[in-house]
Amino acid sequence: MELKKIEKAFEMILDGIGEDKNREGLVDTPKRVAQSYEEFFSGVNKDPIEPLLKYFSVENNDLVMERNIDFYSMCEHHFLPFFGTIDIAYIPNGKIVGFGDIIKSIEILTKRPQIQERLGSELADVIYRTLNCQGVMVAIRAKHLCMTMRGVKKENSQIITTAYRGVFEDDAARRIEILTLLK
């Protein structure tokens, strides 16, 4: 990541909105913004499959669920944050991964310019393909600051998206069972 380019770009933004980049409170702001962006976008050019390559064999293929995983991401349309929780359920096919490893994959996918719909789809694909599991479901609930700070300005709106792969795609009863367990 080229922090100096980000600093220069933010100096131009300050100038563009009519602010003085040399004003006391803004002197180091471009540098702080660049450092923040380094963290916000640390998932760019990282592979979300990597954390899932260390797996454990299991004899039973019982449902595995991880709920209420907090996340923050940056909307690629307005570069404003969206944040919320992610729920994941999957049916193994002889192997599982650590819960922390799933969170590491989420961190990689959320730490890049993103949209919620693609985030869920990418996460479902990564888990489904890497674990070769029977099925996976991802549900995301998020608030988008691009909807609360600007535009429609609806403070309490929440976006919910789901992504299904494998056995969950064609089995409505299984999807309902998982959604019921997630409540």
Burial class (CB in 10 A: 0-12, 13-18, 19+), 63: middle
Count Cβ atoms below 10 Å from residue 79 Cβ, excluding itself: 11
**Nearby residues of 179 by Cβ (< 8 Å), 6 or more positions away:** 139
Q: Please state, in angstroms and rounded to a whole number, the distance separating the CA atoms of residues 122 and 48.
A: 9
Residue located via tokens 């064999």: 57
Q: Please state, in angstroms and rounded to a whole number, the distance separating the CA atoms of residues 141 and 159.
A: 6
Q: Is residue 133 marked as binding?
A: no
Alpha carbon dihedral 115, 101, 124, 134, in 10-degree steps, equals -170
Tokens read off for 69: 């995983």
Q: Is residue 77 marked as binding?
A: no
User: Which parts are annotated binding residues?
Assistant: 75, 78, 146
User: Which parts are annotated binding residues for Zn(2+)?
Assistant: 75, 78, 146
